[in-house]
Amino acid sequence: MDTDPTPPRLRLTLAYDGTPWRGWQTLSGGGAVQDALDAALAKVADGPVRSQGSGRTDAGVHALGQVAHAIVPHPHRLPPEAWVRALNAHLPPTIRVLHASLQHGFHARFDAIGKVYRYRIWRSDILHPLEVNRAWHVYGPLDADLLRRGASLLEGRHDFSRLSANRAGSTALPATPDPLHAVRTLHRVTLHTDPAQPLWELEFEGDGFLYKMVRMLVGSLVHIARGRAPLAWLEDLLQHPQDGIKSNQSAPAAGLYLVRVLYADEPHPRSADPQPAGSKRAGPDASSPAQGV
**Which of the residues are catalytic?**
58
**Vertex 258: Cα angle to 272 and 103 (nearest 5):** 70
Closest listed residue to residue 63, CA positions, set 199, 258, 232, 273: 258
Long-range pairs of 196-202 with CB within 8 A, sequence gap ≥ 24: 198/122, 198/123, 198/124, 199/120, 199/121, 199/122, 199/123, 199/135, 200/120, 200/121, 200/123, 200/144, 201/118, 201/119, 201/120, 201/121, 201/276, 202/118, 202/119, 202/121, 202/151
Say how many residues make up the chain. Answer: 293
DSSP assignment letter at 227: T
Closest listed residue to residue 187, CA positions, set 235, 155, 214, 158: 155
Question: Partners of 204 in the beta sheet?
Answer: 117, 189
Three-state DSSP state, 9: strand
155 touches 186 (CB < 8 A)? yes
